[in-house]
Amino acid sequence: MTTKAKICGLSTPETVKTAFDGGAAYLGFVFFARSPRNVEPETAQRLVEPVRGRGVATVAVTVDPDDALVDRLMATMRPDLIQVHGKETPTRVREIAQRSGVGVIKAFSVSTAADVDQALAYETVAEQFLFDARPVEGQGGTSSLPGGTGARFDWSLLEGRRFSRPHFLAGGLDPWNVGAAVAASGAPLVDVSSGVERGPGLKDPALITAFLDAVKRA
Ligand X SMILES: O=C(O)c1ccccc1NCC(=O)[C@H](O)[C@H](O)COP(=O)(O)O
* Contacts (CB under 6 A) with ligand X, residues 145-164: 145-150
What are the residues facing 27 on neighbouring strands?
7, 58
Q: Report yes or no: 34 and 144 within 8 Å, Cβ to Cβ.
A: yes
Contact track, ligand X, 46-85, x by CB under 6 A: ---------------x-x---------------------x
The total of other beta-carbon atoms located within 10 Å of residue 50's CB is 11
Kindly tell me which residue out of 41, 79, 172, 175 binds ligand X, with binding defined by CB under 6 A: 172
191 near ligand X (CB under 6 A): yes
24 near ligand X (CB under 6 A): no
128 near ligand X (CB under 6 A): no
Among candidate residues 132, 174, 204, 213, the one labeled active-site is: 132
Segment lying near ligand X (by CB under 6 A), choices 43-51, 119-127, 185-193, 206-214: 185-193
Task: State yes or no: is 204 an active-site residue.
Answer: no
Given the complex with ligand X, which of 63 and 97 has the nearer CB atom? 63
The size of the interface with ligand X (CB under 6 A), counted in residues, is: 26
Task: State yes or no: is 132 an active-site residue.
Answer: yes
Q: Report yes or no: 68 and 75 within 8 Å, Cβ to Cβ.
A: no
193 near ligand X (CB under 6 A): yes
Of the candidates 102, 101, 108, which has an alpha carbon nearest to the alpha carbon of residue 122?
Answer: 108
Q: Report yes or no: 24 and 210 within 8 Å, Cβ to Cβ.
A: no
Given the complex with ligand X, which of 88 and 191 has the nearer CB atom? 191
Q: Report yes or no: 70 and 100 within 8 Å, Cβ to Cβ.
A: yes
The total of other beta-carbon atoms located within 10 Å of residue 137's CB is 7
Report the nearest approach of ligand X to the CB of residue 31 (Å): 9
Task: For 90-117, give one letter per residue: b (16+ CB within 10 A) or e.
Answer: eebbbbbbeebebbbbbbbbbeeeebbe
Q: Report yes or no: 85 and 147 within 8 Å, Cβ to Cβ.
A: yes
Given the complex with ligand X, which of 100 and 149 has the nearer CB atom? 149
Rounded to whole angstroms, how far apart are CA atoms 49 and 12?
Answer: 12
Given the complex with ligand X, which of 53 and 208 has the nearer CB atom? 208
Given the complex with ligand X, which of 11 and 100 has the nearer CB atom? 11
Catalytic residue positions, numbered: 8, 132
Which residues contact ligand X by CB under 6 A? 8-9, 28, 30, 32, 35, 37, 61, 63, 85, 132, 145-150, 170-173, 191-195
